[in-house]
Structure 1
Amino acid sequence: MSRQLEREIQKRRTFGIISHPDAGKTTLTEKLLLFGGAIQMAGAVKSRKTSNHATSDWMAIEQDRGISVTTSVMKFNYADFEVNLLDTPGHQDFSEDTYRVLTAVDSALMVIDNAKGVEAQTTKLMEVCRMRNTPIITFINKLDRDGLDPLDILAD
């Protein structure tokens, strides 16, 4: 492998955004894109009211059901790095797509809903990450709502 190719590979970081359904993966992905400068307005994933919007949940079935059916790939630049975000389906019916994505990521960002805590799909995804030695970043979402004690969620 050439030195130039190695340098290009070292400049890329790929994160799989994973969780159980309705934990807020797509919304978190959008916020990361917003703060990374890739989109210009919050709400663009769902409303598409800007010309510079994310391309997550673009299929009609995804918009009708309010869930991701396939993995969406989005990116932004941060410092000297290219950050790739893979917004995966949370629903169990589409989990094979998520499992495949986990073979190609540097880390997984596990989103957990503060009100629901750790669910069966959360546990399954954690097991897959551990089996593949994929580092996991845990993000507890929806802390602005009534919910469980975040330390209890982490203990689970």
Structure 2
Amino acid sequence: MSQSVFEASRRRTFAIISHPDAGKTTLTEKFLLYAGAVGEAGAVKAREGRRSATSDWMEMEKKRGISISSTALTFDYRGVQFNLLDTPGHRDFSEDTYRVLAAVDSVVMVLDVAKGIEPQTLKLFEVCRSRKLPV
């Protein structure tokens, strides 16, 4: 097996998608923490003295506590390189999420049991199904 084929075989690219405020960024922070990429998981709305979420890098995202753009993060875990794409959940930024779905191998869909399945979540699921993405 050539080096380039080996490198490609150990990479996984996935997106975390859902409706707004379901916990995508919180889950992203946990992936980074448990993989050892960060020493402390950041918070979406960090209080003074706490770290902001790694994927919420824009000042407006930190201030408002929402993801405005998709963020690409890479970390290694047990010999596999994961490329994680944290997407915005708000309908205003849905085109960004649809573009991300064209670049991934699979999807983690976060559902908020208190809110149920929202129309935006169903739309995302349909897009994943049409692209034959494992959810």
- TM norm. shorter chain > 0.5: yes
Q: TM-score, normalised on structure 2?
A: 0.90
Question: Residue 97 in 1 paired to residue 96 in 2?
Answer: yes
Q: Distance in 1 between matches of 2:19 and 2:68?
A: 13
| Structure-2 residue corresponding to 1:129 | 128
Unaligned segments of structure 1, at least 5 residues: 137-156
| Structure-2 residue corresponding to 1:13 | 12
| Structure-2 residue corresponding to 1:68 | 67
* Compared CA separation, residues 66 and 46, structure 1 to 2 (3 A): closer
Counting aligned pairs with the same residue, the percent is 62
Q: CA deviation at 1:44?
A: 5.4
Q: TM-score, normalised on structure 1?
A: 0.78
* SS across alignment from 1:74: strand
Residues 19, 111 of structure 1: 8 Å contact kept = yes
Q: Which has the higher contact order (CA 8 A, sep 6+)?
A: 2
* SS across alignment from 2:110: strand
Q: CA deviation at 1:135?
A: 0.5
Q: Deviations over 1:24-58 (max 9, x none)?
A: 000000011101111111235654856xx863111
Pairs aligned (count): 133
Q: Give 4+ residue runs of structure 1 displaced > 3 Å after superposition.
A: 44-50
RMSD value, Cα:
1.9
1:15-94 alignment, distance < 5 Å: 15-43=14-42, 46-47=45-46, 49=50, 55-94=54-93
| Structure-2 residue corresponding to 1:145 | none
Letter in structure 2 aligned against 1:77: D
Q: Distance in 2 between matches of 1:72 and 1:55?
A: 9
Q: Distance in 2 between matches of 1:135 and 1:56?
A: 23
Residues 106, 133 of structure 2: 8 Å contact kept = yes
Q: Deviations over 1:54-86 (max 9, x none)?
A: 631111221222111111111211111101111
Residues 44, 65 of structure 2: 8 Å contact kept = no
Q: Deviations over 1:85-117 (max 9, x none)?
A: 110000011011110110111110000111111
Unaligned segments of structure 2, at least 5 residues: none
Letter in structure 2 aligned against 1:33: L
Question: Residue 109 in 1 paired to residue 108 in 2?
Answer: yes
Residues 14, 104 of structure 2: 8 Å contact kept = yes
Letter in structure 1 aligned against 2:97: T
